[in-house]
Amino acid sequence: MKRFGFVRVAAAVPSVKVADCMTNAASIVGLAKKAENEGVQIVCFPELSVTAYTCADLFASQLLISKAEEALRFILRETENLNVNIIAGLPVVAGNSLYNCAVIMQHGVINAIVPKTHLPSYNEFYETRWFASAIDATRQSIDYAGQRNIPFGTDIIISCGEFCFSTEICEDLWTPIPPSSSQALAGSDIIFNLSASNELVGKHDYLLSVIRQQSARCIAGYVYASSGFGESSTDVLFAGNGIVAENGNIIAQSERFSLDEQLVIADIDVERIKSERQKNTCFMRNNTSEQKFRFVQTAVSEQDINTLLHPVEKHPFIPVGDSLDSRCEEIFNIQVNALATRLHHTGIKNMVVGVSGGLDSTLALLVCAKTADKLKLDRSAVVGITMPGFGTTGRTYNNAVSLIKNLGATFREISIKDACLQHFKDISHDPAVTDTTYENSQARERTQILMDVSNQMNGLVIGTGDLSELALGWATYNGDQMSMYGVNASIPKTLVRHLVKWIAETKMEQAVRDTLLDIVDTPVSPELLPADSQGNIAQKTEDLVGPYELHDFFLYYMLRFGFGPKKIFYLASIAFAGQYKSDVIKKWLRTFVRRFFNQQFKRSAMPDGPKVGSVNLSPRGDWRMPSDASSAIWLQEIDNL
């Protein structure tokens, strides 16, 4: 496979022997070769990994310093045929000072040496006793390990063509403005931190939060390699933290307190990082630093990799893990408070909802009921109208009736059959012809009923359409596409199903719960065509436009990160491996792109609704696209897959 904008990195945690430079160098070489075999492009070792971090006053020994340089020469010789970029830590003399440095090398050549800026001098750490700060450095290049004019300083970014990376060292991360902040603003996509951070109770969780935050603030990849087994335990212990983060998310980490060497490998999506930076116009506005950076050119391996070492969520909109309950609660509260705000602003107290017994109208009705509670209104202010038509089945009808009544809302039933038959007669349409006219007439008749009833009672028509339907244009223009406020407008179909289930299991009494769970299990359908001979749903949406879990996946990666079809197809093939064949994914991806472009005119006229997540299609803010935009180049890329 191709790399698709992914950069393979590794945080190496070697075993060390304090002050035994050649043993440590051999360990570095061994892990570098292992990284090469795994397709790693850049591998980072801990702070002072050549000597070990805990040498203390031994750093004043000229023998140790010279042996560290000798060990680096060994590393350079042993890795000159490797493509992997290696970042190792060791003490380096420049002028009359000793610096705690990151040495960046490839193919036996030192590309740069970066000294540490912020040196701790508290508690058990006294680095200022042995090392000078990069702030005091006056040289921009040095001769070292037999090589001349090596770029030296903290103003160095390594350019690899399609992406850039840079380094900072341990304490640098913990300062109010880490060097990586300026590096990211200057163009560094991945930050490598060579660290030697000891373990204390509670410190690990704080470390993870700091790494998450810095990678998020910098909109960057962050690779953290810290000292492990073998460092002196005289006063402190090192757990061997290897951590890889990407824009606020931890995507890989080592086993803590392991006695074995570790290589924590992950693929960082640089294309995703660049997309985020381009969209975030505030990112570069913060570039007030007057620091100028030198860009040092190097190369990275471009060999294909067999597997992707990066999480790809099959259902990116659905909360997972420990945050499940809190996220669902937050989403539901956003919907409820948005509707409450709109009602308060307009002075309207009645909410009118068309309830079909399907997922979307169910969620909208639940939002209305909860909003009534929040505004201290009787739930009778919520008017649930079921409008059976030619395709309504007993299952959905009974669920709609049961739900409206058990929630305590005002129940109304208004059949659309006679009105539609009269309309067919008026426009000379044969009702036996179940075409688009046949279907859309029903949707528009239902919308007319909702609008007119809301006028009768000074109410607000609450829209039920979801984000997935808006993306696909799976709505009748001036039918279910229209309302006075759309509470589900930024909730994708996969999340609607999940939210309804969550509300049923956590918020509702038994009678309502049973109805909601049956609705969750009901196939998605507009029910605009007559039921089959057994009275079951004959028109299943996902048979016509494709699985919503695929369309939500396509929608997320296309809108959130601006990925093209080729990369979306690649990611979908990984996420849905064993579930959908490649030709099936390709077919529905083509359907998604074609419909997404062709149906923009419906989104341009969509009503107001609350934004819930990072992906939204409101034409007033989140997605501004001309209705005449051509999908040709996107479809061509799909055809060439």
Which is the catalytic residue, given 21, 101, 160, 170? 170
Cα distance between residue 560 and residue 161, in whole Å:
25
The total of other beta-carbon atoms located within 10 Å of residue 249's CB is: 11
Residue 14 has phi, psi (to 5 degrees) of -85, 160
Sign for the pseudo-dihedral over CA of 111, 117, 123, 125: positive
Examine the residue annotation and report whether 417 is marked as an active-site residue of this protein: no
Which is the catalytic residue, given 36, 44, 47, 501? 47
User: How would you class 205 by CB atoms within 10 Å of its CB: exposed for 0-12, middle for 13-18, buried for 19 or more?
Assistant: exposed
Place of tokens 């701790």: 120
Q: Are 229 and 24 in contact (CB under 8 A)?
A: no
In sequence order, the β-bridge partners of residue 165 are 158, 190
Examine the residue annotation and report whether 170 is marked as an active-site residue of this protein: yes
Examine the residue annotation and report whether 47 is marked as an active-site residue of this protein: yes
Q: What share of the chain is helix, strand, coil (3-state, %, to 5)?
A: 40, 20, 40
User: How would you class 49 by CB atoms within 10 Å of its CB: exposed for 0-12, middle for 13-18, buried for 19 or more?
Assistant: buried
Q: Which of 518, 524, 508 is nearest to 399 (CA)?
A: 518
For residue 418, what are the contacts with CB-CB under 8 A and spacing of at least 6? none
**DSSP one-letter string for 605-626:** TPPP----SS----TTTT----
Cα distance between residue 353 and residue 16, in whole Å:
68
Q: How far is CA 237 from the centre of its chain?
A: 34
| Structure tokens given for 268 | 């960082």
For residue 69, what are the contacts with CB-CB under 8 A and spacing of at least 6? 90, 92, 144, 145
Which is the catalytic residue, given 36, 44, 116, 567? 116
- Catalytic positions are 47, 116, 170
